[in-house]
Structure 1
Amino acid sequence: DRYNYGCVIDFIDLKFFPVFNLADIFITIGAIIIIMKSFKSNS
């Protein structure tokens, strides 16, 4: 993207769902994994 547009485009537009950012997805997935592991280690 940087070569063609001069910037990096990491937004996804599915037309039927709000536009979202890849970084936000990975942060959310990481937070969910941390929460799941903390609950699993406590039980």
Structure 2
Amino acid sequence: KELGERMTDEELQEMIDEADRDGDGEVNEEEFLRIMKKTNLF
């Protein structure tokens, strides 16, 4: 919402699943930075 994007819960979960490389259900700092760089938001 703050980035001007409206996402469904499903879209948000897909983004988290893509970022969560180790499969623990959470996005750690390394995973977060990787996905931010990939999406050019960082």
More helix by share: 1
Query: Does TM, normalized by the shorter one, top 0.5?
Result: no
Pick the TM interval, shorter chain.
0.3 to 0.5
More strand by share: 1
Q: Greater Rg, structure 1 or structure 2?
A: 1
Per the normalisation by structure 1, the TM-score is 0.35
